[in-house]
Structure formats: C-alpha cells, structure tokens
Amino acid sequence: MRAYKVLIPALAVLAACSPGAGTQAQNLPEPVKAPPASAATMKMSFAPVVKKAAPAVVNVSSRRTVRQRVDPFWDFFSGGGVPQGRVQQSLGSGAIVRADGVILTNNHNIEGADEVMVQLADRREFPARVLLADPRADLAVLKIDVGSEKLPVLAIDDREKLEVGDLVLAIGNPFGVGQTVTNGIVSATARSNVGITDFGFFIQTDAAINPGNSGGPLVDMDGNLVGINTAILSRSGQSSGVGFAIPAQMARQVVGAALGGETMVVRPWLGARTQGVTADVAKSLGQSAPRGVLVADIWPGAAADRAGLKKGDVILAVDGEAVNDETGVSYYFGNHRNGQTIALKVLRDGRELTVPVKAEKAPGRSDGGRQIDGRNPLQGAFVAELTPAMADAQGIDPFQGRGVVVLKVAPDGLAARVGLRPGDFIRAINGKAVRNETDLASATAQDSRRWSITIERGGQQITSRFSL
C-alpha cells in the first residue's frame, strides 16, 4: 500500500479499529428532486430528509488476521520467532446504492479483510463479498445476498453542482454507537492536495464526522448521496469541523465499473505532466491573476500528444470545469469513460482555444513484474519495467523516469535491509547498465560476493557497495 502524505496536525482516516478483536447506467436509481412538504417543515426539521436516506445506510464491519511474533522474552525460551495470529476488527459505514444489495463504502474499511459483514438499518446482518476495491480512490463496492427482497436505496447524485454553504447531512455509525445523523454545510469544494488518496479532490464539510463514519454517505437536502465521508483533519482523531468526502462523480464511476463486471477501475490518462501556474508564470503569460495549469511535458503517443496539446499550453478548464492544479486535471479527465471526447479549454500564445481530446487508458501493461530471489542485495524486491499504465496503477509519476522500478520491498528481504524503497529505479549492477527486466535478471544471477548497485531516487543517482 502506498504511503500517503500526512497532513499537519493530523489526517485521521475514519475506520474505528480494535487491537483485540463498465458503465454508468447499470440499473442504479436516478436521483429525484422533490421539495419538502412545506417550507415550514424544512425550516423546523431535517427529519423528512433523514427518513428518506437513513434506511439505506448500513454498518460495515471487517475482520482480518495479522501475523506477529511472540514476546521476545518467550522467544528466548521457545526457540524464538513463532508467528502468532491476532484478529483486528474494523468498523465503518456504507450506503445501499442498488436494491438487490449493492453497497458502496471506503476501501480502507475492508482492505485485507478475511470476513466482511453488513448490518442493515433494521439490524439484520449479512456476509458481504467485495465486487471491486479501488485503493487509489479509497472506494469499494460490496454485494450482499437478499434474495428477491428490494432494499431501500440512496441515489447517487453526480449532477448537482454543490456550492459552498449548501446544507448537508452525514449519516453513519460513529464509535459503533449506532446510526447517527449530523448536519452542517459544504465548507469547500474541489479540495485537493490533502494527502488522502491519489485522486484527492474532496468535498469539505463541517458536519460532525468521527471514527466509524467512514464510508457513510454525505446527503443533500433532496436525500441523495453527494459524497462518501472518508477522513477528517484533527489533532485528537475526533471531529473538529473539517471533514472530507469523496464526490459522487467518482463514486458513480467506481460503482459503474463494479456492476459492469470489472475488477479494477481503468481511468482515462491525459499523458501530460502539468503544474500549477505561479504568480511569476502568470505575469509572463500576461494573466492578471494566476489561473489554469501549465503543460510541462507530454508523453509521446498518448492522448494529449495525438490531440495536439503542446508544452507551454495552459489548461484552463476540462469539459467546462475550471482547473488550477494537477489534481483537478486528473480528476475531471479521469472521471470520463474511455472513448469519450473531452474538451480542454487551453491558453496558447495569448489566445484561448478548445482542444478536443479522446479519452484513452494509459499505454502499456499495468501488471507484470518479477520478484528478485537469490543471494544478492536486491533479494525480496518486486520490480517491473515502468510503463504509463503500470505507473498509473501504482500511483507513480510516469514522467519521473523510465526503466526498472521497485514496486514493493519484502520486509524480511535483503533489499529492505540495504534500504531499497518503492519508487527507486535500478540503473546499474556491478557496472552493467540495467535498462529492462532481462538486464536485471542477468545481473542478479551473478555468483558474486561483492556488489555495486546504482539506483535513482528523486532524480539523483546513488551508488552503494555491499559484501555478502
């Protein structure tokens, strides 16, 4: 699992843990705009909205067994190192999005679980299976078997333009006390760079959200799902009025992929490296204020290249949605389906123009790679030749380099002991250049006691020597 950036003072993902214990349609309900019975009723109470939404909110619990070593004191007498199993439990929330038992929740609620259980609002419990898990978006789609019964559902409203100040409700099961409703407003939209997921583009709300609320719905005043509550910003780990929810657009994309029989979400890839426009860049472009995203590099043959996008272009909007950072471009472009044509509003040489781009997945294989074995300093590392598709699947910047990259490092391998990290590029072994997996296999097959390994990390090359 990738390590996400940490917010200061703290970013708390909202699963309560106990140490001891592809298409859009797919029969999803359409959101319905229905006014309250009267203006007086709406002013006095949120009860009409809660009555509509709450029956479709569920509790999601998971159990996983982790292996750990016994106490070192007993290791001394027992001959040591016998791994012991310990059961971890996690509690979160979810929303029923299709009447036959399809449920949307956070991926971190169920990740690595041996067993997932869902409790409905009427307290019935069902085992759940995972249809699709999307760690990069921190979303998961579950399915429970309810036979021919039709369950209450929450419609995913991905068409409403939320505005700062809109009233919202957060429904879930904080601290495991039972279903709870809190209210607040939308504090901000399109909140990015908060370090929660790879596709960090969040609704911010001051509705009270606490551990156990994660995966539960953020609901508008029509009783429709507009977000999935995911994390909070807090010193104490409890609500301080700054919560983040994944927008409904991304939620619908993940549910649509799951119901289409896909095992992973394959999002479109623009194929351009971008950066925010600073005040100095804006001045050089003749802008009165910084706006848009500067195209710094383009991957040859990718969607942006074939569409005619150029280095130095400034992307102002993606399908009518204004963008001001790289996350915004990735989010709005990635929320389309492959094959669609997406209109980019671009500033080029002082003129604004529209560049149509056909949405396509990143080129190359997204899987593959090999585990390095044998007696060498890279033993225990899982490596692969980096392609845009591989980089996209792993959350790696494909523009940071080409060649053989480390994807994972086994904690008990030699690679971990010598300090190898995911994201390192292996450039040379014992003086021989490593350009692909074939070069690497040949180099690590040497019968040698002395090793010289050159890696590239953060744009800098480092050479280390080892004796085994």
In this structure, the answer to whether residues 306 and 410 fall within a common structural domain is no
Q: Which of 62, 214, 234, 330 is catalytic?
A: 214
Predicted local distance difference test score (pLDDT) of residue 264: 86
227-198-62 Cα angle (round to 5): 65
Q: Express each pLDDT in 53-63 by its tens digit.
A: 999 999 999 98
- DSSP string across 129-182: EEEEEETTTTEEEEEE--TT-------B--S----TT-EEEEEE-GGGS--EEE
In this structure, the answer to whether residues 77 and 155 fall within a common structural domain is yes
Integer Cα distance of 418 and 452 in angstroms: 12
In this structure, the answer to whether residues 38 and 1 fall within a common structural domain is yes
Residue 365 belongs to a domain: no
Task: Return the amino acid letter for 359.
Answer: A
Do 48 and 36 touch, CB atoms closer than 8 A?
A: yes
What is the domain count for the chain?
3
Predicted local distance difference test score (pLDDT) of residue 395: 74
In this structure, the answer to whether residues 285 and 381 fall within a common structural domain is no
Task: Return the amino acid letter for 336.
Answer: H
Residue 43 belongs to a domain: yes
In this structure, the answer to whether residues 397 and 450 fall within a common structural domain is yes
Residue with tokens 């991905």: 158
In this structure, the answer to whether residues 329 and 457 fall within a common structural domain is no
Residue with tokens 């559902």: 153
In this structure, the answer to whether residues 14 and 96 fall within a common structural domain is yes
Residue 186's beta-bridge partner residues? 205
Predicted local distance difference test score (pLDDT) of residue 6: 36
DSSP 288: S
Helix, strand, or coil (residue 468): coil
Helix, strand, or coil (residue 269): coil
- 313 included as an active-site residue: no
In this structure, the answer to whether residues 218 and 334 fall within a common structural domain is no
335-158-55 Cα angle (round to 5): 130
List of E strands, 162-300: 167-172, 180-192, 201-205, 217-219, 225-233, 243-247, 272-276, 293-298
Do 292 and 350 touch, CB atoms closer than 8 A?
A: no
Helix or strand run (H / E) with residue 328: helix 326-334
Closest CA to 229 of 251, 209, 256, 249: 209
Of 212, 245, 264, the one marking the end of a domain is: 264
In this structure, the answer to whether residues 244 and 158 fall within a common structural domain is yes
> In this structure, what is the dihedral angle of CA atoms 266, 310, 397, 270, given to the nearest 10 degrees?
-10
**In the numeric block, which tokens belong to residue 358?**
């056909």
The domain spanning residue 169 has which CATH number?
A: 2.40.10.120
Where helices occur in 215-289 by DSSP H, the ranges are: 248-259, 279-284
Residue 194 belongs to a domain: yes
In this structure, the answer to whether residues 300 and 411 fall within a common structural domain is no
Do 385 and 398 touch, CB atoms closer than 8 A?
A: no
Integer Cα distance of 71 and 76 in angstroms: 9
User: How far is residue 317 from each of residues 203, 327, 358, measured CA to CA in Å?
Assistant: 19, 13, 15
The verdict on whether omega for the bond into residue 9 sits within 30 degrees of 0, i.e. cis, is: yes
Task: Return the amino acid letter for 140.
Answer: A
- 62 included as an active-site residue: no
Residue 242 belongs to a domain: yes
H helix count then E strand count, the chain: 10, 27
| Whole-structure pTM value | 0.78
In this structure, the answer to whether residues 342 and 408 fall within a common structural domain is no
Residue 456 belongs to a domain: yes
CA 444 from centre of chain? 34
Of 318, 334, 358, the one marking the end of a domain is: 358
**pLDDT tens digits in sequence order for the chain, 468 residues long:** 343 333 434 454 554 444 444 444 567 887 776 655 666 655 668 999 999 999 999 999 998 876 555 455 445 444 555 555 566 677 899 999 999 999 999 999 999 888 999 999 999 999 999 999 998 899 999 999 999 999 999 999 988 789 999 999 999 988 778 899 999 999 998 887 666 666 668 999 999 888 889 999 999 999 999 999 998 876 666 667 788 999 999 999 999 999 999 988 889 999 999 998 989 888 888 888 999 999 999 999 999 999 999 999 999 999 999 999 888 898 899 989 999 999 999 999 989 999 999 999 998 888 778 889 888 889 999 999 888 888 887 777 888 778 899 989 998 888 988 889 988 999 999 989 998 888 888 888 888 888 999 999 888 888 988 887
Residue 363 belongs to a domain: no
Interstrand relation of 450-457 and 432-433 (parallel, antiparallel or unpaired): unpaired
Residue 295 belongs to a domain: yes
User: How far is residue 105 from each of residues 64, 112, 148, 317, 375, measured CA to CA in Å?
Assistant: 17, 15, 23, 30, 43
Of 358, 384, 406, the one marking the end of a domain is: 358
Residue with tokens 């429970």: 144
Greatest CA separation for the chain: 83
Is the Cα torsion angle 172, 204, 237, 184 positive or negative in sign?
Answer: negative
Q: Which of 90, 93, 134, 138 is catalytic?
A: 138
Predicted local distance difference test score (pLDDT) of residue 454: 92
Closest CA to 209 of 173, 236, 176: 173
Q: Secondary structure of 355-389 in the HEC alphabet? A: EEEECCCCCCCCCCCEECCCCCCCCCEEEEECCHH
Q: Which of 61, 62, 90, 108 is catalytic?
A: 108
- 138 included as an active-site residue: yes
User: Which residue range is the domain that position 458 belongs to?
Assistant: 370-467
Q: Express each pLDDT in 130-188 by its tens digit.
A: 999 998 899 999 999 999 999 999 999 988 789 999 999 999 988 778 899 999 999 99
In this structure, the answer to whether residues 354 and 287 fall within a common structural domain is yes
Residue 419 belongs to a domain: yes
Integer Cα distance of 358 and 351 in angstroms: 22
341-345-348 Cα angle (round to 5): 125
The domain spanning residue 420 has which CATH number?
A: 2.30.42.10
